[in-house]
Amino acid sequence: MNKALEEWAKEHDVKIEKDSKEEEIDGMCEICGIREAKHVCIKCGRKVCSADFWTMLGICKLCLPEAEMKKWRKEHPF
Ligand SMILES: [Zn+2]
Ligand SMILES: [Zn+2]
């Protein structure tokens, strides 16, 4: 687990499930509504597609907008 990521999660009150298992998800993405949902956001519980999801964080792009992610990546380069 990336240390900067852990700290970010703590700051934003996000629980990172270390043993979250892949589940079959029915239905469409709740963000774009056009693609099949593949993930569930650990923060808001929305079912979202891969394009609207930060796989490495387990958080959807509504909870963590792309702009904020870019800013965060800049501050915490991997
Ligand atoms: Zn989507
Ligand atoms: Zn979310």
- More reliable by pLDDT, 43 or 13: 43
- Threshold 0.85, pTM exceeds: no
Mean pLDDT of 42-66: 95
Cα 78 to middle of ligand 2, angstroms: 23
Burial of 4 (0-12, 13-18, 19+ CB in 10 A): middle
Ligand 1 geometric centre to CA of 39 (Å): 10
Average pLDDT of the chain to the nearest whole number: 88
Q: Which two tokens stand for residue 9?
A: 């999660």
Contact criterion met (CB below 8 Å) for 16 and 6:
yes
Environment of ion ligand 1 (residues, CB < 5 A): 29, 31-32, 35, 49, 52
> Residue range 39-61: average pLDDT?
96
Give me the pLDDT at residue 69, please. Answer: 87
Of residues 10 and 20, the one with the higher pLDDT is: 10
CA of 2 to the centre of ligand 1 (A): 26
Report the run of H or E that residue 54 belongs to, with start and end.
strand 53-54
CA angle in degrees (0–180, nearest 5) for 58-39-8: 10
Give residue limits of the domains in the chain: 3-71
Distance, in Å, from the CA atom of 66 to the CA atom of 1, rounded to the nearest integer, reads 21
Query: What pLDDT is attached to residue 76?
Result: 85
- Pairwise CA distance, residues 5 & 22, whole Å: 21
